[in-house]
Amino acid sequence: MSDSVSAGNPSEPPQGGHHGGNNNVAKLAFGAIGVVFGDIGTSPIYAFRETFVGPHPLALDDLHILGVVSLIFWSMTIVVALQYVSILMRADNKGQGGSLALVALISNSVSKTRFGGVVVLLGVFATALFYGDSMITPAVSVLSAVEGLTVVEQRLEPLVLPIALVLLAALFLIQRRGTAKVGALFAPVMTVYFIVLAVLGIVHLVENPAILWALNPWYAIQFFLTDKMLGFLALGSVVLAVTGAEALYSDMGHFGRGPMRMSWFGFVMPCLVLNYFGQGAMIMSLDSVGAAEAIENPFFVLAPEVLRLPLVILATCATFIASQAVISGAFSITHQAISLGFIPRLSIHHTSEETAGQIYIPFINWALMTGVIILVLIFQNSSNLASAYGIAVTGAMLIDTCLMAVLLIALWKWKLWLAVPVIALFFIVDGAYFAANLAKVGDGGWFPLMIGAIAFTLLTTWARGRKLMRERMTESALPLDVFAKSAHGSAARVPGTAIFMASSNVGVPSALLHNIKHNKVLHERVVVLTVEISEVPYVEPGERCEIVALGEGFYRMTLRYGFMEETDIPFALAETNLCGGPFEIMKTSFFLSRQTLLASNKPGMAIWRQKLFSWMMRNAASAMEFFRLPTNRVVELGSQLEI
């Protein structure tokens, strides 16, 4: 996933989601180069090298070089070009892509079947794996680029780790300032970077065109036939060339599928292919001693000695941009998960007044920073990190394939004679990559799996706990219309408006019951407000608000938002006057409920998960901040609840 760059006010989707709006396709395609393709674009720095010098090194002969380059080319073609760019990009949820958007898109079709719960869990697990990936990507990318200094001057090796740590710390420290100004430089820098990739590749390709035989998939097959086990294990490193493929789908809403396809097929993929073929051509043209030296860092050896330092600087900038995109993607996916009810409310800062999608989540930022620094200190170099890299990505890719199978059959209604071979192809390819990466678990793959398992436990515990809470509250809920009639004559009415926030649009919220019990007053206008998050990224303005008048000055209001939108309640209230007249915020009091959980005799989930859920509730950000309520107009009332 990468940088969240949606534009406009909170009620409007970004222009990219509508394939350009007033922007032309070429401009969006250029912008996508800077935001979307950083992760996959920095793979040439380490992917080809790791296949030969990783945990399962290969011989530097023509058979293995042609086989590896052929594997990289056909992996890029099948996984990125065919699966993600050509097929999955057609599966947009009102212009948005990504695992959660895909789950929301297909859930209506399968929610009433036995597969409905499985589909949701798959999407949640893909999201959990993303957090592991978002820690490893900055660490391996920046560290591999800084290691290029050793190609320029071997004596600089002791400085590699400190420089990488300083750069990574700086990367996270600038997040709170927003990335709009830095983001303006992304596309030009990445465009120069990709052009340099292509030029370096072409130079060596011209010198040794025999590498072009790798376009024939037979060389990849021959590699497997000759070295069955090594060929299988090599997939664990080859897949590094396609890490970032899922970002193309996740970021579709920012630029539109048309511009992104143009960028990929017309510019990014050719540049990457030329560079990989250039690295292979260079190694093939060297003698055994020269090849053994060059394979330690073939990406930087591509350049003439005088240009290697500028290449290190350019590559470091590119990895910085790629890391920025992943961090911004973590903010974006967290915002979606909060909206869909899988993560507790967290403090969200909006870093741009013009761009709604520019957000900063302190908790996620510091958690990622801690994880990245720990990773660098534990693994020390990019080769060791590359062993940990890949398993989270391939796991997410395999999950996307599972979701795609449901999409093709349940939603798109493809004929089985067409759907089965397509699904089988992607299951074989993605399954092989995932299986090969399982061999890395002992070498560091345990780290992203551990992070994924922790994130999955937290996400599912929160979702389950919220469901139980709502069920318990609904069981004892008093109908609001009955309450309105009985309360009207039993409490004094005072001027002004009281808005009581309710998690469900059924029954009377506990804050309203406690207010009348302790204060024995009701405002002239009482509004019970429920915020619903729809399974679409954006809700049309005309569908935003639903109001039911209950008489005696009581109203039930429902505000609907998409999972990509900001829940700005004062903004929404200012837009309506159908609830007994316009709202004056400074004459309106907002009443919030804060529940304290008690263990029941028959808990709905394990005691340890109940305690975890309780801890998450205590540490969740206030609804006041999340809904952007004015701080001096909020009253919180506590209550106890058994789950």
Instruction: Kindly write down the DSSP assignment for every residue of 589-640, as one continuous string.
Output: EEEEEEEEEE--SS-SS-HHHHHHHHHHHHHSPPHHHHTT--GGGEEEEEEE
Angle at Cα 243 formed by Cα 246 and Cα 283, nearest 5°?
150
Confidence label for 637 from pLDDT (cuts 50, 70 and 90): confident
Q: Look at residue 556 and tell me whether its pLDDT is greater than 70.
A: yes
Provide the pLDDT confidence category of residue 601 given band limits of 50, 70 and 90: low
pTM over 0.75, yes/no: yes
Q: Which tops the pLDDT comparison, 305 or 443?
A: 305
Q: Residue written as tokens 């950000």?
A: 621
Confidence check: pLDDT of 599 > 70: no
Task: Check residue 191 and give its pLDDT.
Answer: 92
- Look at residue 256 and give its three-state secondary structure: coil
Lowest-pLDDT range of 109-123, 243-257, 276-290, 349-363: 349-363
- 514-539 per-position pLDDT tens digit: 888 787 888 889 999 999 888 787 88
Q: What pLDDT band is residue 192 in, cutting at 50, 70 and 90?
A: very high
Q: What is the DSSP string of 275-333?
A: HHHHHHHHHHHS-HHHHHHHTTSHHHHTS-GGGHHHHHHHHHHHHHHHHHHHHHHHHHH
Q: What is the CATH number of domain 15-463?
A: 1.20.1740.10
Where is pLDDT greater, at 61 or 247? Answer: 61
Which residues are within 8 A (CB) of 482 and not within 5 positions of it... i.e. 6 or more apart?
A: none
Chain segment 204-226, per-residue pLDDT in tens: 999 999 999 999 999 999 988 88
Residue 260 is predicted with a pLDDT of 86
Average pLDDT for residues 66-82, to the nearest whole number?
93
Hey, what are 247's tokens?
């970002």
Confidence label for 179 from pLDDT (cuts 50, 70 and 90):
low
Contacts of 402 (CB under 8 A, 6+ apart): 122
Distance CA 128, CA 121 (A): 10
Q: Report the C-alpha gap between 83 and 204 in whole angstroms.
A: 30
Tell me what the pLDDT averaged over the chain comes to. Answer: 83
Letter for the amino acid at 252?
M
CATH 1.20.1740.10 maps onto the chain at 15-463
Does the pLDDT value for residue 184 go beyond 70? no
365 or 244, which is more confident?
365
Question: Both tokens of residue 149?
Answer: 């200094």
Q: Work out the average pLDDT over 244-268.
A: 82
pLDDT at 357: 56
Which has the higher per-residue pLDDT, 415 or 19? Answer: 415
More confident residue, 131 or 23: 131
368-400 pLDDT tens trace = 999 999 989 988 888 888 877 888 888 888 988
Looking at residue 17, its pLDDT comes to: 41
The pLDDT of residue 7 is above 60: no
By CB atoms closer than 10 A (0-12, 13-18, 19+), residue 215 is: middle
Look-up of token digits 């469901």: 467
Confidence of residue 275 (pLDDT cuts 50, 70, 90): very high
408 within 8 A of 423, measured Cβ to Cβ: yes
pLDDT the model gives residue 165: 92
Q: What is the pLDDT of residue 594?
A: 76
pLDDT value for 154: 80
Distance CA 347, CA 54 (A): 41
State the Cα–Cα distance between residues 317 and 319, nearest whole angstrom.
6
